[in-house]
Structure 1
Amino acid sequence: MHNSNSSAQEEETFRVRRLEITDKSKGFIELLQQLTLCGDICDKKFQARFEELSSYADDHLICVIEDHRTGKIIATGSVFIEKKFIRNCGKVGHIEDVVVHSNARGMQLGKKIIGFLSDHARSMGCYKVILDCSVENREFYEKCGFKQKEVQMVRYFI
């Protein structure tokens, strides 16, 4: 049985926050490598990209969950805000790069990340938030309140 004290402690242990420059040394890139190819990103390149994205702070948000017991980043995701002419100059949130460390799955951390990113999109005035996912992950995103719509298409240039 869960008591409120352990729940509050767990909440602080797995708090969602914005990406910080020091998160590279806490395993952020290694976590992303569980999702897709990242390459070897040196500190200088990481800092340059971090500063670039920070200049769009509200329009491109990357969030993480750090396990304060280990000091490691164990979950992440991002949302960027697309500004449109349709829907009376509306905005759409695009959720990307959601990953939970393989050792931390099943702890509702992905759901926390999705909730944080969706709340940000709503607070920025988005009329919807969308994402692409694999067929295997569809059920997870449905549990987060998403529904399948249309078909994704892609064209790679490299």
Structure 2
Amino acid sequence: MSTPKYINPEIHPATTKEDKQKCIDVRVKVCTDELKLPIEYQTQNADDAICDHWLATAEEKDGERVPVGTIRLLRLNERVGQLGRLAVLSDARGLQLGKKLVYAMLEGAKAHGFKEVYLEAQSDKRAFYEKFGWVVEEADKETFITAGVPHYKMWMRSIPQEKLI
């Protein structure tokens, strides 16, 4: 049995410039290095400055805590937020970080008073988001292309009010 590369994952709001840069660094590793998407998609995004970000970190074998995942929440208006830029390093998958990051973001959405959250899911990630209650509505049933990848627009019209994390 192999020893996991990471242990003791934690998620916290990324409020400092340094933590927000770590979020971008994780996105570049996942989206640019792994998925081969254009780097500009991750590094030249004006929304980053106005979004809430969360950073997942975990301990390596030597005890050093390193960034391994991220998610962000964009305020669209007083009622609606947008989940975006969920990314978890490939060797940190299996720690349930995607789920934990989504729950942290939903808690943030509730704290902002949002009633709805939508996202643009890569088509192969649709089932992941459906597990949380997001749905593809009739008007959004066709995929659209972003950065060369098919996506679905998905909605959560009512954010669960019980504590999720």
So what's the TM-score if we normalise by structure 1?
A: 0.66
1:7 equivalent in structure 2: none
Map 1:91-106 to 2 at 5 A: 91-106=79-94
1:121 maps to: 109
Structure 1 residues 28 and 117: CA distance shift in structure 2, 3 A: closer
Aligned residue number for residue 16 of structure 1: 11
Q: Of the two, which has the highest radius of gyration? A: 1
Deviation per residue, 1:85-123 (Å, 9 max, x gap): xxxxx4201011000100011221000111111111122
Q: Which amino acid aligns with 1:61?
A: D
Structure 2 CA distance for aligned equivalents of residues 30 and 72 of structure 1: 11
Q: Does 1:133 align with 2:121?
A: yes
Counterpart contact for 2:68–2:88, Cα < 8 Å: yes
Please provide the CA RMSD for this pair: 3.0
Distance 1:16 1:29 in 2: 15
Measure, in 1, the Cα distance between the counterparts of 2:69 and 2:105.
Answer: 13
Aligned-partner Cα distance in 1 for 2:146–2:127:
25
Quote the residue 1:76 is aligned against.
Answer: 70
Aligned counterpart for 1:145 among listed residues 128, 133, 138: 133
Pick the structure with more helix per residue.
1
Q: Secondary structure at the match of 1:37?
A: coil
Q: Which runs of 5+ in 1 are unaligned?
A: 1-9, 84-89
State the percentage of identical aligned residues: 21
**Number of residue equivalences:** 126
Judge conservation of contact 2:71–2:101 (CA < 8 Å) in 1: yes
Instruction: Compute the displacement of 1:146 (Å).
Output: 1.6
**Contiguous gaps of at least 5 residues in structure 2:** 1-6, 32-36, 148-165
**Higher percent of residues as strand:** 2
Cα pair 1:66 1:73 within 8 Å, conserved: yes
Q: Counterpart in 2 of 1:87?
A: none
User: Which position in structure 2 is the counterpart of 1:4?
Assistant: none
